[in-house]
Structure 1
Amino acid sequence: MTIQLATSTVLTVIQTTGFFAPIAFILFHMIRQFLFLPVAVVCIAGGILFGAQLGSVYSIIGLTGSSITFYFVTKLFPKLLDRLMKMKGKWLGTYTNFSFIQIMILRMIPFINFSLISLCILDKAKTFGRYTKLSFLTHIPSTLLFTFLGASIQTLPPVVLIGIVIGLFILIYYFREKQVLIKWNDFFIREKA
């Protein structure tokens, strides 16, 4: 599904709700993760439907709601959280911890998995309040980027888009945490006899 087709589908669904369009849009953000739609598509649609300012506000609320939904789903289904942690360990490494700025930058890369980034925030913030605050703050730059620049991002040449993504990855490396804490028992793993 192309970005234009996905965006037009989202626009059609939201426009049919009339007066309740903002609420439907926020709820659509919350179920978007189960429909496997990219965040960028829904944010672009919000900018087209409600304008850049209101579209950004509704997207930030919806994405924060989506993160809160992820939090409660992982608490209700601990086996799912274990599977996600194993996936994170496989893809990113067991001891990889992203800094706040790295997480913000990762949110701006459209093809990075939303749930994986939420999992990184969950690792960083041990309480629900801190998790919600970090989720809210990390959604602001990506939402503004996708909502305000959404239309122009689609028309940029692929070389420029690749350059932007490479630049974001360089920033992720630059803002990494410079130290890794490894538990004593994990460092000195005893061999089973």
Structure 2
Amino acid sequence: MEELAEVQHLIEESGWLGPALFILLHLVRPLLFLPVILVCVAGGLLFGFIEGAILSFIGLTLMSFVSYVLIYRFPTFKQKLSRLKDKVLPDRHLSMGQIMVLRIMPFVHFHLLSFYLMEMTDTRKEYMIYSMIGVIAPAVIYTAFGGAIHELPWYGTAILFILLLLVYKVIGKMHNDKMDTIT
């Protein structure tokens, strides 16, 4: 715990550089193979709940924008995500609610969910609005409860995952029922 206090003191002394580096960490996180939950938990530990959640929201929002740019500028990246989408959820149309729930689940591919959002929206502005809404929950939940989730015993984590899976399924059924009544 003494090391954490030293790091917190260093961040407090760094002024604007600490938060800027933390946001940059969100942007390079995929290159370092760090899960979103880990970075958000670190934000809560280092900056506190409010500032950590705000910084994670900013970092995840910027990462959503970077995803958009990468997918449209690099056709190879788009093709890889399309193949991944076909493997993970073949012939499946997700609702916005399901994507929001998946954003909360640890270790769900961030760029794949961004790709789903891109396919569901018509403009970059619409995509960014939904992306911003979609990263609020993980930024807040992981920052506030990430430490608790991370510290849960394996069965606690399994129960949480099953609950999120049930919510995902219920939202999907509601979405499919709604689509059936429209057609």
Residues 78-122 of structure 1, C-alpha deviations (whole Å, 9 max, x = no match): 1220221122012211x3221111111101111211111111111
The aligned residue for residue 21 of structure 2 is 24
User: Does structure 1 residue 116 correspond to structure 2 residue 112?
Assistant: yes
Q: Distance in 2 between matches of 1:86 and 1:170?
A: 26
Match for residue 71 of structure 1?
Answer: 68
Give the equivalent residue in structure 1 for 2:170. Answer: 174
CA gap 1:85/1:16 in 2 versus in 1, 3 angstroms: farther
In the alignment, the residues of structure 2 paired with residue 124 and residue 18 of structure 1 have an alpha-carbon distance, to the nearest angstrom, of 41
Which residue of structure 2 aligns with residue 132 of structure 1? 128
Q: 2:50 aligns with which of 25, 48, 53?
A: 53
> Runs in 1 of length 4+ with deviation above 2 angstroms?
14-17
Structure 1 unmatched ranges of 5 or more: 1-7, 181-193
| TM-score, structure 2 normalization | 0.85
Give, in whole Å, the separation in 1 of the partners of 2:12 and 2:71. Answer: 32
Alignment partner of 2:87 out of 60, 74, 90: 90
- Between 1:69-78 and 1:16-25, the stretch displaced more is 16-25
RMSD of aligned alpha carbons: 2.0
Three-state SS of the structure 2 residue aligned to 1:132 is: helix
Q: Any gaps of 5 or more consecutive residues in structure 2?
A: none
CA offset digits 1:40-79 (Å, max 9, x no partner):
0000011111110010000001001001001101111112
Give the partner amino acid of 2:88: W
Once residues 112 and 149 of structure 1 are traced to their aligned partners in structure 2, the CA distance between those partners, rounded to angstroms, is 17
Task: Specify whether residues 102 and 21 from structure 1 end up closer, same or farther in structure 2 by C-alpha distance, changes over 3 A only.
Answer: same
Letter aligned with residue 31 of structure 1: V
Number of positions where the alignment pairs a residue of Structure 1 with one of Structure 2: 169
In structure 1, which of residues 141, 160, 165 is the aligned counterpart of residue 161 of structure 2?
Answer: 165
- One-letter code aligned to 1:153: I
Report the identity percentage.
33
Once the two structures are TM-superposed, the CA of residue 125 in structure 1 deviates from its matched residue by 1.3
Name the residue aligned to 1:153: 149
Residue identity in the other structure for 1:118? S
Q: CA deviation at 1:154?
A: 2.3
Partner of 1:41: 38
Instruction: Tell whether the 8 Å contact from 1:107 to 1:117 is kept in structure 2 after alignment.
Output: yes
**Alpha-carbon distance change, 17 to 135 in structure 1, aligned in 2, over 3 angstroms:** farther
Contact map agreement 1:44 1:151 (CA 8 A) in 2: yes
Judge conservation of contact 1:40–1:146 (CA < 8 Å) in 2.
yes
The code of the aligned residue for 2:140 comes to L
Identify the structure with the greater helix proportion. 2
